[in-house]
Amino acid sequence: MTSPSPTRPDVWRPQAHLSAKIHSLDELRRFNERGGIAVDIDVLRSVDPWVEISGSQSEDFSFWRTSSRSGFVTKPKFSADLVTIRFVVSGHFTYSGRGGDILGSPAHATLVGFETIAEVRASDWVDAVSATIAAETLTAANHALTGRDDPGLPTFAPVADMTLPGMSALFRTVQRVQSWTRDQDRPVDLLYPLIREVMSYQLLSSWPKAAPPRQAAGADVPSRRLGIAIDYIEENLSKTIVLSDVAAAASMSVRSLQDKFKKELGRTPVQFIVDRRLECVHRDLIAGPKAAWSIARIARHWGFAHMGDFGQRYRRAYGCTPSETRRKSASNP
C-alpha cells in the first residue's frame, strides 16, 4: 500500500513517535492545523476538550493509545484500505458508517475498515488502545498462514467478545507493542516487520469471523441499537431518564433493551446510567466549571437526590468519599 497522501505531509505522514495533549480549544485547533494523522478531531456538545494521544504510525502498521475526559468525535480525512482494531479500557466508542453503528466497549473490541467510517464518537472518560494494519499486509499474512493461493481475507465480525479465547492475548499484544514503541528512543525499522507479521497472524487466528448474513432484509444489528440507546442516555444524563424513553429512542422494547445491555455490556441499563452519572460527578469534583459547586449541588445535578445513598455508591466506585476526591484534587492541581 502506498502512503495515504505521499505529497501532503500536512494531511498524513509517517511518525515514529507522536504524542499530543489537547487541553483547550486553541490546542485542538493547532493540532488539527498541524495535521499528520488520518483524522480530524472535534469536541462533543461544546465541551472543553481534554484528549491525550500517543502512538507510532507507518504506511501499513500503526499503534495508538487515546485517553479523554471530555469525549470527542473524529472524521477521516481520506479513504484508505486499512483495518483498525480497538480495545476499550474504559468508556465507549461508537462508529458510524456504512451498515449502521458499531459500539466498542470494555466488553467488546471492534474491527472496522477505515474506508467504511463516516465518524467515530468517543464518550468522556474514555481510554483505549488501537492498531491499524493495511489490508494488503493482512492478505499477505493470510496467504502465508494458510498456504493457499490467493486466499484473500476472511470476513471479520465487526465486534468481538473479550471473553473469547485469544482476545485477551491479542489485547495484551497491542497494549505492549504500543507501550514499547512509545518508549523507544529511535525508530525500530528492523523489528517492525517481525512485529507486524506476528501480530497479523495472531489477529487472523483469534478474531471471530462474521456470521452468514440473515435472509431477512433489514435485519437488526444489535450493536447499532445499543449505540443509539447509549447516545440517548449520554445526551440526557442530567435530566430525568426512564427506560421506556430509552427503549423508544432505540426502537425496541424495554425487555430487549435490558437484554442487550446485559449481554453486550454486562450491566443493566440502570446500572449503566448510575455508573455514568457517578463518572460525571467525579469529573466535576476535580475539574471544569462545576468544580466550585458544593458536593451536594453536583450530586443533585446528576440525579442523586439522597446523599447517603450517593455517598455509598461513590465510595464503592472510587474507593474514597467525594470530599476526599476534592481534597486530593486541590492538593494536586
CA atoms in the 13 A half-sphere facing the CB of 158: 21
Q: pLDDT tens digits for 105-126?
A: 888 899 998 888 889 989 888 9
Q: Where are the beta strands (DSSP E) in the chain?
A: 15-22, 39-42, 51-57, 61-68, 72-76, 82-90, 93-97, 100-104, 108-113, 117-122, 126-134, 159-161
- Average pLDDT of span 113-142: 89
Question: What is the assigned CATH class of domain 15-206?
Answer: mainly beta
Res 189: pLDDT? 56
Look at the chain and count its residues.
Answer: 333
> pTM for the whole thing?
0.68
pLDDT at 282 over 80: yes
- Average pLDDT of span 55-80: 88
3-class secondary structure per residue, 240-278: CCCHHHHHHHCCCCHHHHHHHHHHHHCCCHHHHHHHHHH
Q: pLDDT tens digits for 34-43?
A: 888 889 999 8
Name the residue type at position 296.
A
Where does the chain hold its CATH 2.60.120.280 domain(s)?
A: 15-206
C-alpha span between 63 and 17 (Å, rounded): 10
- Read off the pLDDT band of 2 (50, 70, 90): very low
Architecture of the domain delimited by 222-331: Orthogonal Bundle (1.10)
Choice between 290 and 185, residue whose per-residue pLDDT is larger: 290
- Average pLDDT of span 66-78: 90
Look at 74-83, 191-200, 259-268, 281-290 and tell me which has the smallest mean pLDDT. 191-200
User: How many other β-carbons are positioned within 10 Å of the β-carbon of residue 304?
Assistant: 19
- Read off the pLDDT band of 148 (50, 70, 90): confident
pLDDT at 100 over 80: no
Mean of pLDDT over the chain: 83
C-alpha span between 244 and 262 (Å, rounded): 16
Choice between 115 and 10, residue whose per-residue pLDDT is larger: 115
Where does the chain hold its CATH 1.10.10.60 domain(s)?
A: 222-331
